Structure 1
Amino acid sequence: MAAKPVILQNKACTATYTTRGGALVDFRLQPGGINPLQFRHREKSKGSKEVFFNGHFVCLGNWGDPSAGEATRGHVKHGDFNRLQWLSSQKERQALLSAYSTLEGLYMERNVALDENAAVLQVTETVQNLHTVGRLYNLVQHPTIAAPFLDGETIVDCNATKGFDYAFPQFSENICKTWPCANAFDGETINLSSPDRAYSSVFSFLVNPADEWGWVTAYSPAQQTLLGYVWRRSDYPWISHWLHFEGELIRYRGLEFGTTGLHKPINEIWGKGLVSLLGESTCRFIDTGDTHHRSYLSFLHPLPKGFQGVKQVEVKDNVLVLTEKNTDHTIKISHQFKTKYAIQQ
């Protein structure tokens, strides 16, 4: 019998985590809201093992495929944690989820708290190395939006600067472009805020080095709903955008943020001398017994048709201040969480 999901509720929203894979599979406004995270996808990983991704999941260990040797030992795309049964407990608007991967030698513990009144989640995650040796690893948050929230009119914004298309076989600064545009491998440019043509790929950008906080938002005019994430740049210095089209229609879109912008096995990152890119690290080292802590906020907010997108997100004491593009109109989202949480790298 399948384990029961973890459901957190207040008057503003409902958030649902599955314990198989530990993903946030449903996050919606109440009453009558839709779930932006309706992404469900199965595929064969290297080594012919099937993997299943849904909603907002974590890529822990590696982002992308494992190395050839790792695949023969059972490792899969985006790490082992999406296949694991997570332990869970909850009390009112708080939940604790945890999982240990013997393959990765890593333990993850996730504390989730839902605001008393607002559609705001605070997620704090701890990664501990329980192996007998230190290792390189990556952690990428992989929230993925799909229809009916995602369509050709959905507007995505973030505080990115320079970025590139991962389809290029070799990296150079010549392939980079400044957000919201990107140089695609097919020789054309693409506007990633509101894609102006069908092109499937992964585009990785630096979070603005001048900012303390990183953020990404997606606004659906059809659903009159905004989904957003905010985190410390020191936790996650990269924002990546996965676009998946089928024909001329966009089917999935990843609003990813993490410790790397390289969708590659760790051995390739190391072997090709890419542990630093554009002045930013592309993987992290965790010694045996060490613990790393990272946190982020996730939020939903209703907005009317005609909203033009997000120009800026400011993090103030218990308030997120969003500035609209072109109008400079501000939207304030109050919440109960302290944003000056401790960071351990």
Structure 2
Amino acid sequence: MKFGETLLGGRKAWKLDNGAATLVMLAGGGHIASLTLNEKPAVNPLWVPVWKPVEPWQYAAKHAKTHTSKLLGAIAGHNVCLGWFGEPSPEEAAAGMECHGEAPVAKWRLVRKALSGGVMTVETECELPVVGMVLKRTISTQTGKQDFHVTDTVRNVSQRDIPFTICEHVTFGPPFLQKGETVFDMPAVQSHTFRGQFSDKQRLRPNAPFAWPRGPGRHGEMVDMRTIGNSYGASSDFSTQLIDPKRPDGWFTAVNAELGVLVAYTWRRKDFPWVGNWEENYGRKTRPWGGRSLARGMEFANSPFPVGLRKATEMAHFQGHPTFRWVPALTSIDFSFDIVITPVAEEVKGVKDMYRTSTGFAFDFITG
């Protein structure tokens, strides 16, 4: 078991190594930027942007020409969106607010580290002055395990109740993400494409309900949502998936059998009813994207669409569930989830189900 400060792509980070798997979290934005099996250290399933990163505290006016926003300068892998999920309102944007809130561009600090009885626990936190919150992240893992338990604690430090949306925005990238090879599964019961135009290169028909994984194609065709097919040269899409309300836990899996790696996330379904599916398939041509990025986000959230807090509160409900939440004055709410990374055999074609066991997690695989 090892913990320490490190540099990842020249950026300050904290590294948790339990002997079987390693997780790296950035101080700039709190992004979980690397997740690897120790037996396959070259395969980081999480997205590494193709452009040069900029630490949030180093972002300056000159970077606006190359990165366009502090968020895109800092973003990597799994980022947490808090306060609002998606774009700010026009007035918030004019006041300097960016997409996905303060946490992804905050300077996080180490609060505590402990190692006892084969369990490593690390606490970090950041301040969110605009929304009047402090976000604490606690990561724990056991020696030799291929999973990490994470609790994000949202603390209201103001004397008023605060509405908010939150999204654990997990983004995958190459080499793990391969068109036609990497498959995604989840226990979704209702799905819906983005309700407006998400991009000018959509493979999905806007504002359409569907049953996962059979998506509604732009031209009337059926789209296999489990993968981004090789036939799609360039596209950029978003859809939301409601996780089965009968299940106590939500989950999603990402499998690249060619590389022999599976990544899974699981959480309390009542905390995050939806999984947003974001696909960036070389579709965005603006800076810093430049048509060079392949990324896929699995974004479990308490709101279905990345539309910001104002629109989420105006929506109020979607698919029978509230689209935002309140944290009362001077109180806290815990949001917990588990991250699993494990080897898989070449014949694995996906996951039918995921569940907890007395020793960890198990999967019912799709094979053949």
| TM-score range for the pair, normalised by the shorter chain length | 0.7 to 0.9
**Which residue does the alignment assign to 1:311?**
352
Contact 1:308–1:324 (Cα < 8 Å) also in 2: yes
1:219 matched to 2:255? The reply is yes
Flag the 1:132–1:75 CA change in 2: closer, same or farther, 3 A. farther
Contact 2:313–2:323 (Cα < 8 Å) also in 1: no
1:299-338 matches, cutoff 5 A? 299-325=340-366
Which residue identity lines up with residue 19 of structure 2 in the other structure? K
Which residue identity lines up with residue 269 of structure 1 in the other structure? A
1:226-305 matches, cutoff 5 A? 226-246=262-282, 251-271=294-314, 274-305=315-346
Q: CA deviation at 1:185?
A: 5.2
Partner Cα distance (2:322, 2:217) in 1: 23
Q: Mark the runs of 5 or more structure 2 residues left unpaired by the alignment.
A: 1-6, 54-62, 199-205, 284-290
Partner Cα distance (1:231, 1:305) in 2: 27
- The C-alpha deviation readout for 1:20-53, integer Å capped at 9, x for no partner, is 11111111001333111133267979xx643231
1:76-91 matches, cutoff 5 A? 76-88=98-110, 89-91=112-114
Identity over aligned pairs, percent:
24
Partner Cα distance (1:249, 1:161) in 2: 33
Contact 2:194–2:305 (Cα < 8 Å) also in 1: yes
Contact 2:192–2:207 (Cα < 8 Å) also in 1: no
Which residue identity lines up with residue 105 of structure 1 in the other structure? G
Partner Cα distance (1:229, 1:130) in 2: 29
Contact 1:228–1:298 (Cα < 8 Å) also in 2: yes
1:96 matched to 2:123? The reply is yes
Moved segments of 4+, more than 6 Å: 41-45, 247-250
Task: Provide the aligned C-alpha RMSD in A.
Answer: 2.5
1:206 matched to 2:242? The reply is yes
Flag the 1:238–1:154 CA change in 2: closer, same or farther, 3 A. same
**Which residue does the alignment assign to 2:139?**
112
TM-score normalised by structure 1 residue count: 0.86
User: Of 64, 67, 74, which residue of structure 1 is paired with 2:89?
Assistant: 67
Q: Mark the runs of 5 or more structure 1 residues left unpaired by the alignment.
A: 328-345
Partner Cα distance (2:258, 2:177) in 1: 9
Q: CA deviation at 1:74?
A: 2.2
Give the total of aligned pairs. Answer: 321
**Which residue does the alignment assign to 2:20?**
12
- The C-alpha deviation readout for 1:273-307, integer Å capped at 9, x for no partner, is x2111111111112221211110000101012121
**Which residue does the alignment assign to 1:331?**
none
Q: CA deviation at 1:131?
A: 2.4
Contact 1:167–1:185 (Cα < 8 Å) also in 2: no
Which residue identity lines up with residue 251 of structure 1 in the other structure? L
- The C-alpha deviation readout for 1:107-133, integer Å capped at 9, x for no partner, is 111110122111100001110111232
Q: CA deviation at 1:269?
A: 2.6
Q: Which stretch of the first structure deviates more once superposed, 112-121 or 3-12? A: 3-12
Partner Cα distance (2:94, 2:124) in 1: 29
